Structure 1
Amino acid sequence: MEIRLRILLLIVLHGGLFSPVWAQGQVVRFVKKVLNDTSSAATSKLLVFPTLGFSPETSLEVGIRTFSLFYAKGDTVVNRLSEVNLNTFVTLKGQFGALLENAVYTNRNTYFFLGRARYQQFPLLYYGIGPATSKSSPVLVNSVYFQIRQRILRKVKNNWYAGIEADFQSIRRVNFESEETPNFELPVGGTGSETTGLGLALVYDDRKNVLNVRKGQFLETGILWYQPGLGSDFRYRSVVLDGRLYRPLGRPSRVLAVQLAGTFMTGQIPFNNLGLIGGESLMRGYYLGRYRDKNVLATQAELRWLPFGFSKRWGGTVFAAMGTVAPSVGAVQLNHIRWAAGGGVRFLFFQKKDVFLRADLGITREGTGLYISLGEAF
């Protein structure tokens, strides 16, 4: 069983696990205020809380997560909910990292900034490249990794956005630890690399709340060229497609969400830049990077009750997904398609902003994964 678990310690505090002295103190009163947030939807919300986690490659992990939720100019009628999320962590093995993610709309949704920045000194499990790699004896990869990927999009008509995107990735001090394969052959980029890509993006987005979409559509297509002239160690091209559909079923609290995603690459691509399957968003239950290759095809569907009919704040979901990787689109084989399924519980964390805390259990033929976070998986 692979576990990557982040527990919101605020919930532990609220549960009364501390002494009566603490229960009467400022901390618990603050927690109760957060959990019973009744501030106006137009009010900007900043939440900072500690996290606790465990995974096989890191042992115990502690960190700080910061969420900022806001509407441009406080306008909840015209403008969409923006999110900035910063997660920092350290582990007992001396590893550390930080991830900053943003989905920010300006006034009247004229501009849309979508991206992330990541720095980590963090081990990864490397199973190899392709759809038929073995689960047994993965290689542990230690490295220092840095990435900035950002899209700057402008509304061109109605809900259509177009703009530019850039991606910079650097992986240094790479060390493959393989006890069972002493003559392990390093993949492309196995000694480290820097890649820089520039490209174009076209997005259709009519979602009102990106953390909990009850009705709407999202479509993104983007193409990036990585060239030595841009400072890239390798020359290749990457095309990304991501389509999502959200529909209420009978009542606003019951939502069907569907996603179809694809990554298509050509050229010489370092191992850390290849398309991946797994993680807390798509193909939940698989380790992120359990399967990797130049091409990725995946789809998932999720039925959400937000909340249940008998509760004002508790809800749940069930989901299923299929996906595969391949060196080319023509090489996709049905027997290499992997499945994932599962379910989760939800707690309405920000009542006025309609944002839920989620806990999902993903089940695959290779094991399970447990994920806790704020906002829906997609």
Structure 2
Amino acid sequence: MFNPRVSCFIIRPLLIVLLFFSNNRLLGQDFKDFKEIFTFYPNKKAALEDSTLYMAKLVAAPVISFSPETSLGMGIGAKYLFKFRGSGDETRTSNMPVTLQYTLNNQFIVYSGFEIFTNQESWVIEGNLRFQNYPRLFYGIGRDTPKDVEEEYNYYQALVEPIFLKQTFRYLFVGAGIRYNHVFNVDTIEEGILETDQPTGYNGSTSAGAELAVLYDNRNNILNAERGWYMEFTHGFYGKILGGTHKFELTRFDLRHYLKPFRKKNDVLAFQLIGHFSHGDVPFSELALFGSDEILRGYREGRYVERNLLAGQLEYRKTFGDSRYGMVAFVGGGDVYRNLGDFNFKNIRPNFGLGLRFLLDKKENLNIRLDWGFGDDSNNIYLNIAEAF
């Protein structure tokens, strides 16, 4: 699922991050007991009486994150993991996270990126909800903007994007949804490059339209897959009928593959390719952003901005026996460009990096991740929960 974001603001337990490196006792029963302080079981009594019920989890805890876009962020997060009554092992666990966060960059973020499976996965309901005040750096539009013209602008955003997908064959889902993206109260630097260039919708916009979607998802685990494919394609039509300010079309795809290269080890090789393609009267808020904590790690989100983006990455995930510790190495690259015919492999900007992992929840295979990514002339550190993809 496209989630600009979805992984960055899932749940980040502050106390666990601070303690698991410093106290080895937390790796045993004490760690399990400590984690249970933040875990609630809404249907525990019913699940104990009926073994066919899935025992739902509600994890609520202090949260912490760090990325160059947000600086240090702190707040409260909740993650609800559940299955509908009548769902067995053939139905994967539904995931509904909610995070309320404030960062040292004076941002506030309310976010949920959800993925819900009905019984026997006959339907998938996925999407994003976001309300935030977000300062962002701007360098101009295009793939060759200089770094020394950096300026900051601030805006508010309200995003609602539910998508309903019906199972047509096992793991193949087809459906549609709506997307409403309202950007307002934009604060720019007087006579800065954003005010001077004045791209369409630079001082605010509303994107309102319908999306068609196709999803193939046979991953064995939604939060941290070890095998399987994830392929999603959406195409959105935006206009003024539903209250939008611009008429344009936006196509996005996300292709991922996971495999275990060694039969007797739990190491994972993961691959991802994403695309963002827009045409028409595209507002500034809907242009593709190069760099993030999920792909092209090492570049600040929005270091390069254009209508189209194509990027990929390869990651090797190493686990150390039965311990909770792991490491990753990743490499990737991508480019933004104005017109589809402008893409050239010679223009791809590379990135690479290393990361540490700590297994927070063995049953859900959920990791805390600390990544150090490098770009052409930059490097950044990211602290989050769940894998980048």
TM score, norm. by length of structure 2: 0.85
Distance 1:191 1:112, change over 3 A: same
Is 1:281 the counterpart of 2:287 in the alignment?
no
Segments of structure 2 that go 5 or more residues without pairing to the other structure are 1-7, 48-52
Q: Which residue is equivalent to 2:382?
A: 371
Distance 2:253 2:106 in 1: 37
Distance 1:53 1:110 in 2: 35
Whether contact under 8 Å (1:7, 1:372) holds in the other structure is no
1:253 offset after TM fit, Å? 0.8
Deviations 1:25-74 (A, max 9, x none): xx99952546999x999432222222345666766532112222233448
Is 1:172 the counterpart of 2:172 in the alignment?
no
Equivalent residue for 2:363, pick from 336, 352, 363: 352
Equivalent residue for 2:16, pick from 4, 10, 16: 10
Amino acid at match of 1:12: L
Distance 1:76 1:373 in 2: 30
1:230 offset after TM fit, Å? 2.2
Equivalent residue for 1:343, pick from 333, 354, 373: 354
Q: Which residue is equivalent to 2:115?
A: 103
Where do 1:163-312 residues align within 5 Å? 163-177=175-189, 184-251=196-263, 253-305=266-318, 307-309=319-321, 311-312=322-323
Deviations 1:331-355 (A, max 9, x none): 1234431111112111111112222
Whether contact under 8 Å (1:13, 1:31) holds in the other structure is no
Q: CA RMSD in A?
A: 3.0
1:288 offset after TM fit, Å? 1.3
Whether contact under 8 Å (1:235, 1:267) holds in the other structure is yes
- Mean CA deviation greater in 354-363 or 7-16: 7-16
Amino acid at match of 2:137: L
Distance 1:239 1:29, change over 3 A: closer
2:285 counterpart SS class:
helix
Distance 1:194 1:182 in 2: 18
Distance 1:278 1:93 in 2: 18
Q: Which residue is equivalent to 1:20?
A: none
Equivalent residue for 1:320, pick from 331, 336, 344: 331
Distance 1:36 1:101, change over 3 A: closer
Deviations 1:303-353 (A, max 9, x none): 112x223x4211121111110000111112344311111121111111122
Distance 1:96 1:35, change over 3 A: closer
Distance 1:330 1:65 in 2: 43
Distance 1:115 1:182 in 2: 30
Aligned residues between the structures: 364
Distance 1:87 1:42 in 2: 24
1:143 counterpart SS class:
strand
Amino acid at match of 2:357: R
Distance 1:301 1:120 in 2: 31
Distance 1:216 1:7, change over 3 A: same
Distance 1:181 1:79, change over 3 A: closer
Whether contact under 8 Å (1:59, 1:91) holds in the other structure is yes
Distance 1:141 1:7, change over 3 A: farther
Distance 1:147 1:235 in 2: 18
Distance 1:258 1:181 in 2: 37
Deviations 1:82-129 (A, max 9, x none): 211212112456532211110111111111112111111121112221
1:293 offset after TM fit, Å? 1.1
Whether contact under 8 Å (1:112, 1:153) holds in the other structure is yes
Q: Which residue is equivalent to 1:46?
A: 58
TM score, norm. by length of structure 1: 0.87
Distance 2:71 2:294 in 1: 22
1:373 offset after TM fit, Å? 2.0
1:141 offset after TM fit, Å? 1.1
1:169 offset after TM fit, Å? 0.8
1:179 offset after TM fit, Å? 7.3
Distance 2:79 2:233 in 1: 27
Distance 1:93 1:222, change over 3 A: closer
Q: Percent identity?
A: 31
Where do 1:27-66 residues align within 5 Å? 31=34, 33=36, 42-53=54-65, 61-66=73-78
